[in-house]
Amino acid sequence: MDELKFRREAYENPHRQDEEFLGSMHESSERTAFVNDLKLLDKKLEAALKVEVPEDLEAKLLLNQQLHQHQVERRKTGFTLALVASIAFIASISFTLLRLAPVDLGQHALAHVYHEEMAMKSEQNISVDEVNTQLASLTSLNHAHFTEQPGRVLYSTYCDFQGVKSIHLVMQGRQGKVTLFIVPLEERMVLEEAFADNRYQGMGFKADNAYVLLVGEHATDLDYVRDEVKESFI
Amino acid sequence: MFSVIRNKKPKKSVNRDMLNKQRRYDSLVRALHGDLFRYAYWLCGDKHIAEDITQETFLRAWRSLESLKDDKAAKAWLITILRRENARRFERKQFDYSDVEQADIADHISSSSEENMEQHMLRRQIAKLEVEYREPLILQVIGGFSGEEIAGILDLNRNTVMTRLFRARNQLKEILDDTQTRGRSNG
């Protein structure tokens, strides 16, 4: 190794351990002294570079991170809280608005029939007493009830008419089944005397304390059930 | 009921992850804060700024601790973050610290003995080195990095790094020899 290369490598890193470098270092005592000189410089450099580290720096770094973490968590919970609050707010507003909107009973009745296909398949025999028990639980009906069995009742349940609890019955007509809704009187309800779509026909009338809606496939059935109900429902 | 069971498990493991992360961070701080602070100090030449940079660095490290896959590479990783933080300082505010640094550097360290005098002088000379020469030297001497590693950190090729190390030592040695011979002839 020539002198220039040797010196260069020594300056680059006097602590090199590769054999070529060490070999040429041992070639002469001058070279060894030269490298030792540089090693001494490195020692001094190391000491000089090691400036004092502030004593509290470690604690500060740890604390800083804790505070940061704390803030992130607070921001997160704050955000979640705000999100939940605004969702609840929107929900309550829209719910109130929906409840105030006028309800087209006829369309709603049709939709309800389509929605509850199960009801049309029911073949139960429900007694007038059972229906009356359900009616009695609707306080807004003012004790409206059936005085006698209004023909065969195949299905009976509570249902929801745009937030108003109502009764959903399926009765046997002459030709087919007729769905009957008994809805407590409420101002925003809009009653249509007759309504229909491609499949079903419907009619509505107002009893003493309730709207009664009938939906069926045949007009004759509707008339038949209406007469039955008008006689027995007070 | 299912949801309760389902929710419980991830929560526990999240907590465990958090705890692991915390431990990892704590040990990184303990082991490396000194070197990082010193590196920052020699980059900017001011203890307070160095402290700020170190804090920013560790905060950033905490946020992206997941991206550090190999703990052995932690030092190089942190130094890379630190260098970026230091560069950002210049983007944010164009303060000229360079005038202050040479005058201020290490002045508060009392230099009573001759050894301290020499160290004091050496520090001034290191601070006077061009930052291009200073950085690889610091990485080699106190970071203990090899030429390749330094090249990786500084994003230079190895030959450039070696040349800069050569010049850095060469300059410092010349100055040191110079003052020593002058000192001797004066005394």
Give the pair of three-digit tokens for residue B102: 């040479």
Rounded to whole angstroms, what are the CA distances from A39 to A145, A230, B112?
109, 114, 25
Q: Is the pLDDT of residue A190 over 80?
A: no
Closest partner residue to A64 (CB to CB) among B59, B147, B170 is B59
Determine the residue of chain A that is closest to B120 in CA distance.
A48
> In B45-157, which ranges are continuous DSSP H helix?
47-63, 74-92, 98-104, 114-128, 131-141, 147-154
Grade residue B54 by pLDDT with cuts at 50, 70 and 90. Answer: very high
Q: Does B34 touch chain A (CB under 8 A)?
A: yes
Determine the residue of chain A that is closest to B172 in CA distance.
A41
Cα B153 from Cα A228, distance rounded (Å): 93
Closest partner residue to B126 (CB to CB) among A14, A49, A58 is A49
B2-49 per-position pLDDT tens digit: 544 455 556 677 788 888 888 889 989 998 999 999 999 999 888 999
Residue indicated by tokens 């006028």: A102
Q: Does B173 touch chain A (CB under 8 A)?
A: yes
Best A49, A52, A56, A68 member to test B by mutation, with max B CBs in 10 Å, is A49
Q: Is the pLDDT of residue A67 over 50?
A: yes
B25-32 long-range contacts (CB < 8 A, ≥24 apart) are B25/A65, B25/B58, B25/B61, B25/B62, B25/B65, B26/A62, B28/B58, B28/B61, B28/B74, B28/B78, B29/A58, B29/A61, B29/A62, B29/A65, B29/B58, B30/A58, B31/B74, B32/B74, B32/B75, B32/B78
The neighbouring-strand residues paired with A169 are A156, A180
- Nearest-Cα distance to chain B for A84, in Å, is 19
Q: What is the pLDDT of residue A66?
A: 85
Q: What is the pLDDT of residue B183?
A: 63
b/e map A110-147, b = 16+ CB within 10 Å: bebbeebeebeeeeeebebeebeebbeebeebeebbbe
Percent of chain B scored above 90 by pLDDT? 40
Determine the residue of chain A that is closest to B116 in CA distance.
A48
Q: Does B141 touch chain A (CB under 8 A)?
A: yes
* Contact (CB<8Å) B147/A13: yes
Q: Is the pLDDT of residue A33 over 60?
A: yes
Q: Does B137 touch chain A (CB under 8 A)?
A: yes
Give the pair of three-digit tokens for residue B23: 């431990």
Q: Which residues of A touch B169 (CB under 8 A)?
A: 11-12, 14, 38, 41
Q: What is the ipTM of this complex?
A: 0.74
* Contact (CB<8Å) A47/B119: yes
Angle between helices B47-63 and A57-100 (to 10 degrees): 50
Fold of B110-187: Arc Repressor Mutant, subunit A (1.10.10)
Residue extents of the structural domains in chain B: 13-104, 110-187
| Contact status, residue A169 vs residue A194, Cβ threshold 8 Å | no
CA angle B58, B59, B61 (to 5 degrees): 60
**Structural domains of chain A, ranges and CATH numbers in brackets:** 3-49 (no CATH), 103-232 (3.40.1000)
- Nearest-Cα distance to chain B for A225, in Å, is 47
Q: Which amino acid is at B90?
A: F
What does residue B4 show for φ and ψ, rounded to 5 degrees?
-65, -45
Determine the residue of chain B that is closest to A56 in CA distance.
B51
Closest partner residue to B173 (CB to CB) among A41, A51, A53 is A41
Cα A144 from Cα A135, distance rounded (Å): 7
Q: Is the pLDDT of residue B101 over 80?
A: no
Q: Does B32 touch chain A (CB under 8 A)?
A: no
Determine the residue of chain A that is closest to B53 in CA distance.
A61
What does residue A172 show for φ and ψ, rounded to 5 degrees?
-90, 120
Tally of CB atoms within 10 A around A62: 17
Residue indicated by tokens 């939940």: A84
- What is the sign of the dihedral through the CA atoms of B62, B68, B73 and B79? negative
Grade residue B104 by pLDDT with cuts at 50, 70 and 90. Answer: very low
Q: H helices then E strands: how many in chain B?
A: 8, 0
Q: Is the pLDDT of residue B108 over 60?
A: no
- Burial degree of B148 (CB within 10 A; 0-12, 13-18, 19+): exposed
A137-148 per-position pLDDT tens digit: 887 777 778 888
Q: What is the pLDDT of residue B164?
A: 94
Grade residue B187 by pLDDT with cuts at 50, 70 and 90. Answer: very low
Rg of the Cα atoms in chain B: 21
Q: Does B37 touch chain A (CB under 8 A)?
A: yes
- Nearest-Cα distance to chain A for B120, in Å, is 7
Q: What is the pLDDT of residue A221?
A: 84
- What is the sign of the dihedral through the CA atoms of B66, B22, B75 and B126? positive
Q: Which amino acid is at A89?
A: F
Tally of CB atoms within 10 A around A5: 12
Written out in words, the top-level CATH class of the domain with range B13-104 is: mainly alpha
Q: Is the pLDDT of residue B152 over 90?
A: yes
